[in-house]
Structure 1
């Protein structure tokens, strides 16, 4: 895949799987993350590929925009943006503060707008580049179903789905498709410690892996898949289609 790719939250978990897969597929990948230890470690592991790490605190809009523009200035363009980064904050409605709520939005939602706006400005100034583009945003099945004390996280993920189809329309003139993925249970820790029940409760018979999401991202980035646009793709082993009554 001969494309220039920018990934947020690329040092761990799903983001790490995305960065690794795209690098091995031939892409020129820049990823950002606040975790400098993990970011530098992954960059070193992928040193034989085109892989660059930027330290970015996504709650700082200016720093994120500078990071995206740095890639554009160095490489002349960005073909693919994967907004993967996210945080969760589960706290009682009696205890969660406005600041807590805003922090989740500032990290989960706002960076998607910032990266998309930065790309749009560049494409608008350079119409010769308007031949291919992909933005993939990471939502969650939490926008479809919830549990107590998940208000900030659920709200941010629902907003991502809405922002995705709005951006798909606004960026269509630049030939940029915008989709989002809603992962279910994707185990980013020790897969071997999962129980049989963890796996068998899924209609697919197993818990998800980060690579499941990475492969979906790569699929959406194939040039021939440009008719998929403005969509939310649920990847959850069938769990959201399963009736569960206690």
Structure 2
């Protein structure tokens, strides 16, 4: 099973942006979706002339997800890779969340991957193809977070991965990457200083966790080299919080 075309959400920044480059370098066609229109334009300009399409999508809105996949699956019926990378982290205590913000965080981080995975899997299976879904979680989903909503939704992504590995077998492998604190991302910019220091203190390997290094793990899960893996949690965390 060789994935020649892949959908990547949250493709305009951070890990998503690094993974777009990695997949293009690997010879794949990439369809990148993001809510950040200026970021998408910059991404398209950076990779002008390469097999990249960019689409504006709000993964926290069901109608937007449907419209996005309507266009993509019609234009690329042979697509067999999906990376649910888009996410929302606010870095605040649970007491500061109002109900509307709680709903938004759940919609972006959990419902979006549910909607996209269900529609994508239905298409791939109906086409009689084999493929892969890669989800992005976080160490926060395994050990908790000072942002309780973020810890909750990322635990949900891990549960979704394991369940969909069963739901979509043997047609699709479904795995999840669980990074630690990734530098040069919106999360690193928002996380409280004391939590940043705690992450760094817990890491057993030296060096920073970069978007490019996490993208390499995602690319591995999209490739034939991980052909025997489904329902797996791959940690990209410098050994933070051994568990």
TM-score by length of 1: 0.88
SS at match of 2:53: strand
Task: Give how far 1:219 is off.
Answer: 1.0
For the pair 1:8 / 2:12, whether they are aligned, the reply is: no
For the pair 1:187 / 2:188, whether they are aligned, the reply is: no
Query: How is 1:136-155 mapped onto 2 (pairs within 5 angstroms)?
Result: 136-148=134-146, 150-155=147-152
In structure 1, which of residues 155, 160, 168 is the aligned counterpart of residue 157 of structure 2? 160
SS at match of 1:241: coil
Write the distance in 1 (CA, Å) between the matches of 2:197 and 2:120: 45
Change (3 A) 1:205 1:224: closer
Write the distance in 2 (CA, Å) between the matches of 1:100 and 1:240: 29
* 8 A contact 2:80–2:124 mirrored in 1: no
Write the distance in 1 (CA, Å) between the matches of 2:3 and 2:126: 23
Write the distance in 1 (CA, Å) between the matches of 2:108 and 2:177: 17
SS at match of 1:230: coil
Structure 2 portions without partners, runs of 5+:
189-195
Change (3 A) 1:62 1:77: farther
Write the distance in 2 (CA, Å) between the matches of 1:32 and 1:207: 27
Change (3 A) 1:56 1:206: same
Change (3 A) 1:105 1:50: same
Change (3 A) 1:97 1:69: same
Task: Give how far 1:48 is off.
Answer: 2.3
Instruction: Select between 159-168 and 91-100 the one with higher mean Cα deviation.
Output: 91-100
* 8 A contact 1:2–1:28 mirrored in 2: no
Q: Across the two proteins, how many residue pairs are aligned to each other? A: 234
* 8 A contact 1:7–1:82 mirrored in 2: yes
Q: Residue 169 of structure 1 corresponds to which residue in structure 2?
A: 166
* 8 A contact 2:158–2:176 mirrored in 1: yes
